[in-house]
């Protein structure tokens, strides 16, 4: 502990640089506020009560579409200042209560006092819209992780993927943001934004996913994450789905500024025509040079990780029934990092670029009919350079998705069509034998093209207050593999008691191999799709602040890839994954928290595995508790601990995954302070310490060809200090 205090003292001197960022932000804020706004500032105060006139502490009271607001104290009191617009909407939220909304006409200069009464959610009368193995945020389903939760999660670095890893069913396999779900590989989880699939959703991408997610949580209005048993609306994923939604028309004008040790960001939200046309845009720049120079780490860098992204989101509500959303996104990142091998150290260089252009349409024809659709393009461009390996990847995905929904109690019907056109080209050279610097080079020219069509139909029936049944069929055909198949997915929800639901789900899922696996030289053009059956049984409990879920699952894999000396790969692989996931989230006064526990067995005979054996993502036990304590109206501290048993590795010639690396331990802590620089302003300053106890986690081992020498592959992050500030005007 004394060494820890010494390190803290050293960091204090280095953190002073953040003070300059704060001064710059203050200057920009005051200049911008004087140039952009001449509106008056009004004070809004009030109390929040329940139906019995008891004060409700820690309720979130804010102006819709902004960060302007306050959290009620132990007496239910709130107070904040805001600039007047014609009609601002005041929102009050608290777990276990219905959301309260009311317009505020700013007509006088006197302080506006409001007495808000929240109604407790009626669990007995609400529809049983519960899906097996799913977690959501936003306005739908059970709220388990909001955008603010993502930002405040210790160790998550305000990253969606890192925060999702705190859920049960996501294994700690690598030191990055990759989503390894319930014994599946990282590429077996689909990522979707506003209905458009993101084939490469990570920054600093590697075979293990990437170190960060591509989409910022500040761009999102909600997320839906499923670890299995999801409906027929989603396909081409054996394990899970992460579906995200971006914001609609902003309610108020806002400029956001952020600065930290490794990141600078600016954003603007602008309602052009109130409730009709609006736009939001942001730009982010990240340079980790100072971060790594200030803190200890286990790698050398020829190029410190650098990235930037820009985005534009424009929404036009052409009528009360419908809107069109245009989302444009461009990101680029590059890195040069050491790769330690027995007896030597080499450097890997990567340069990635991603784009997404998406037009999303949503139209309510009547109270019973809803139509929605997408027209999207996503591109990914990557350069890899490692010893004698030199590859360039060009990936293009064109997609069209349309769907119709019919609502007529007690029936909900969903039908849709998906069309994908997929291009990929990989060119360059690779060494014939491993990574030998003086070996023979092999030319690579992979050219992939496919067209995939999917039709799906799903109907959900509410049989009284006790039972819900959902049945779905998904038909897909693919030109590259020649596959045609129909997947059947069925689920039931039984209401055992007003706050307790029992869920049963079974379904079949397909996924197509990665494009390079079809190459005539390094792959096999005759490959077909993989198949997995999901079987899930779960118990759900929710009452006010408490949410508890426990699920048992079994996944049966068929037609997986298996290496073959004659044709490179066949579809003779198979395997299974089984386990139990437990999730608990609750709050008591100023203390809130969640805990995830996963027990897993994942075995496959696939790729180079000689027999049915534990996979590299077979992490037997994962446990992640997250606690947050609000010790003052504007101060909070959060703590996260991550425990994971070691992943398998091969310790000698003739063995396969016979040993495991040491157990993974990591503790992260974050302190957040909310304050106002001037009336109507909302700001937050945060200090994070990742890997608090400076544990040197071992993620894998690398051996020489004769297995005489061994080096440990350690986690990148040692104890790391980070300071940042976020503000809005």
Q: What number is the average pLDDT over the span 465-484?
A: 95
Q: What number is the average pLDDT over the span 632-661?
A: 93
| Torsions phi, psi for 33 (to 5 deg) | -65, -35
pLDDT at 108 over 60: no
d(CA 301, CA 279): 39
Q: Between 374 and 716, whose confidence is greater?
A: 374
Residue 477: what pLDDT? 97
Summarised one tens digit per residue, pLDDT across range 298-324 is 888 899 999 999 999 999 999 888 999
**356 close to 316: Cβ distance less than 8 angstroms:** no
d(CA 65, CA 87): 12
Please state, in angstroms and as integers, the Cα–Cα distance from residue 666 to each residue in 155, 693, 719, following that order: 9, 8, 10
Q: Which CATH architecture has domain 134-248+265-728?
A: Beta Barrel (2.40)
Residue 474: what pLDDT? 98
Query: With bands split at pLDDT 50, 70 and 90, how would you rate the model's confidence at 623?
Result: very high
pLDDT at 81 over 60: yes
Query: With bands split at pLDDT 50, 70 and 90, how would you rate the model's confidence at 146?
Result: low
Question: 77-86, 488-497, 630-639: which range is least confident on average?
Answer: 77-86
Highest mean pLDDT among 44-48, 72-76, 397-401, 702-706: 397-401
Per cent of the chain over pLDDT 70 is 85
Secondary structure (3-state) at 131: coil
pLDDT at 26 over 60: no
Per cent of the chain over pLDDT 90 is 53
Residue 616: what pLDDT? 94
pLDDT at 714 over 50: yes
Q: What number is the average pLDDT over the span 230-248?
A: 92
Residue 113: what pLDDT? 77
Secondary structure (3-state) at 290: helix
Question: 135-144, 199-208, 351-360: which range is least confident on average?
Answer: 135-144
Q: Between 25 and 401, whose confidence is greater?
A: 401
pLDDT at 67 over 70: no
Residue 7: what pLDDT? 41
Residue 216: what pLDDT? 86
Residue 37: what pLDDT? 40
Residue 32: what pLDDT? 39
Q: What number is the average pLDDT over the span 644-651?
A: 95
pLDDT at 457 over 50: yes
Extended beta strands in 498-545, E state = 500-511, 530-543
Residue 131: what pLDDT? 64
pLDDT at 422 over 50: yes
Residue 98: what pLDDT? 83
pLDDT at 33 over 80: no
Rg (CA), the chain: 26
Neighbours of 38 (CB within 10 A): 8
Residue 176: what pLDDT? 85
d(CA 491, CA 133): 11
Q: What number is the average pLDDT over the span 322-334?
A: 95
**385 close to 417: Cβ distance less than 8 angstroms:** no
CA dihedral 479→480→482→488, nearest 10 degrees, is -80
pLDDT at 452 over 70: yes
Assigned CATH topology for domain 44-121 = Immunoglobulin-like (2.60.40)
pLDDT at 29 over 70: no
pLDDT at 504 over 70: yes
pLDDT at 270 over 90: yes
How does DSSP classify residue 120?
Answer: B
Question: 65-79, 359-373, 664-678, 689-703: which range is least confident on average?
Answer: 65-79
pLDDT at 116 over 70: yes
**314 close to 325: Cβ distance less than 8 angstroms:** yes
Q: What number is the average pLDDT over the span 559-578?
A: 97
Summarised one tens digit per residue, pLDDT across range 483-503 is 999 999 999 999 999 899 999
Summarised one tens digit per residue, pLDDT across range 388-405 is 889 999 999 999 999 999
Question: 137-141, 169-173, 325-329, 404-408: which range is least confident on average?
Answer: 137-141
Domain ranges (residues) in the chain: 44-121, 134-248+265-728
**299 close to 250: Cβ distance less than 8 angstroms:** no
Q: Let me know the angle formed at the C-alpha of 409 by 467 and 544, rounded to the nearest 5 degrees.
A: 55
Query: With bands split at pLDDT 50, 70 and 90, how would you rate the model's confidence at 66?
Result: low
Question: 72-86, 525-539, 614-628: which range is least confident on average?
Answer: 72-86
């Amino acid at each position: 502990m004394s060494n820890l205090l010494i390190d803290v003292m050293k960091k204090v001197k280095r953190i002073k640089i953040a003070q300059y960022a704060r001064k710059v932000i203050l200057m920009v804020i005051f200049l911008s506020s004087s140039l952009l706004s001449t509106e008056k500032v009004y004070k809004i105060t009030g109390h929040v009560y329940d139906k019995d006139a008891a004060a409700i502490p820690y309720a979130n009271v804010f102006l819709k579409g902004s960060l302007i607001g306050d959290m009620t104290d132990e007496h239910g009191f709130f107070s904040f200042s805001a600039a007047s617009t014609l009609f601002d909407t005041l929102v009050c939220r608290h777990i276990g209560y219905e959301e309260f909304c009311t317009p505020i006409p700013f007509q006088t200069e006197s302080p506006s006092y409001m007495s808000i009464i929240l109604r407790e959610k009626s669990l007995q009368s609400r529809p049983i819209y519960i899906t097996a193995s799913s977690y959501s945020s936003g306005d739908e389903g059970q709220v388990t992780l909001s955008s603010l939760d993502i930002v405040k999660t210790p160790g998550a670095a305000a990253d969606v993927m890192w925060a999702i890893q705190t859920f049960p069913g996501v294994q700690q396999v690598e030191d990055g943001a990759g989503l390894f779900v319930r014994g599946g590989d990282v590429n077996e989880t689909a990522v979707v934004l506003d209905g458009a699939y993101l084939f490469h959703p990570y920054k600093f991408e590697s075979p293990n996913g990437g170190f960060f997610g591509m989409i910022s949580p500040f761009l999102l209005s909600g997320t839906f994450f499923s670890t299995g048993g999801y409906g027929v609306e989603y396909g081409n994923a054996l394990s899970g789905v992460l579906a995200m939604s971006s914001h609609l028309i902003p309610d108020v004008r806002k400029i956001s500024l952020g600065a930290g040790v490794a990141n600078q960001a600016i954003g603007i939200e602008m309602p052009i025509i109130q409730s009709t046309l609006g736009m939001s845009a942001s730009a982010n720049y990240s340079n980790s040079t100072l971060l790594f120079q200030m803190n200890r780490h286990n790698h050398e860098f020829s190029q410190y990780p650098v990235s930037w992204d820009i985005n534009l989101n424009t929404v036009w509500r052409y009528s009360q029934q419908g809107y069109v959303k245009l989302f444009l996104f461009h990101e680029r990142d590059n890195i040069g990092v050491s790769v330690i091998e027995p007896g030597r150290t080499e450097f890997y260089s990567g340069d990635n670029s991603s784009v997404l252009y998406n037009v999303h349409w949503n139209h309510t024809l009547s109270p019973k009919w809803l139509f929605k659709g997408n027209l999207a393009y996503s591109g990914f461009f990557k350069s890899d350079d490692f010893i004698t390996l030199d590859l360039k990847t060009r990936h293009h995905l064109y997609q069209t998705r349309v769907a119709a929904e019919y609502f007529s109690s007690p029936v909900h019907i969903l039908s849709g069509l998906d069309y994908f056109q997929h291009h990929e080209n990989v060119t360059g050279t690779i060494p014939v034998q491993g990574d030998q610097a003086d070996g023979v080079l092999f030319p690579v020219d992979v050219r992939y093209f496919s067209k995939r069509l999917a039709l799906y139909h799903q109907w959900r029936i509410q049989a009284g207050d006790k039972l819900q049944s959902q049945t779905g069929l998904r038909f897909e055909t693919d030109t590259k593999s020649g596959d045609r198949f129909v997947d059947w997915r069925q689920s039931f929800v039984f209401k055992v008691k007003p706050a307790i639901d029992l869920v049963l789900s079974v379904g079949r899922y397909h996924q197509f191999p990665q494009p390079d696996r079809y190459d005539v030289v390094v792959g096999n053009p005759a490959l077909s799709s993989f198949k997995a059956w999901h079987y899930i049984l779960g118990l759900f409990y929710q009452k006010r602040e408490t949410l508890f879920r426990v699920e048992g699952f079994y996944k049966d894999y068929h037609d997986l890839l298996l290496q073959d000396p004659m044709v490179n790969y066949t579809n003779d692989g198979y395997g299974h994954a089984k386990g139990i996931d437990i999730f608990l989230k609750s709050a008591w006064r100023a203390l809130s928290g969640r805990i995830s526990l996963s027990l897993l067995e994942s075995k496959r005979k696939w790729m180079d595995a000689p027999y049915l054996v534990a996979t590299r993502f077979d992490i037997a036990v994962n446990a992640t508790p997250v606690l947050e304590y609000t010790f003052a109206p504007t101060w909070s501290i959060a703590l996260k601990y991550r425990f994971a048993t070691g992943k398998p590795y091969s310790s000698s010639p003739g063995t396969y995954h016979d040993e495991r690396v040491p157990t993974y331990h990591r503790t992260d802590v974050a302190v957040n302070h909310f304050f106002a620089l001037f009336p109507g302003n909302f700001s937050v300053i945060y200090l994070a310490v990742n890997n608090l106890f400076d544990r040197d986690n071992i993620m894998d081992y690398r051996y020489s060809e004769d297995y005489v020498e061994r080096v440990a592959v350690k986690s990148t992050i040692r104890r790391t200090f980070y300071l940042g500030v976020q503000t809005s005007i």
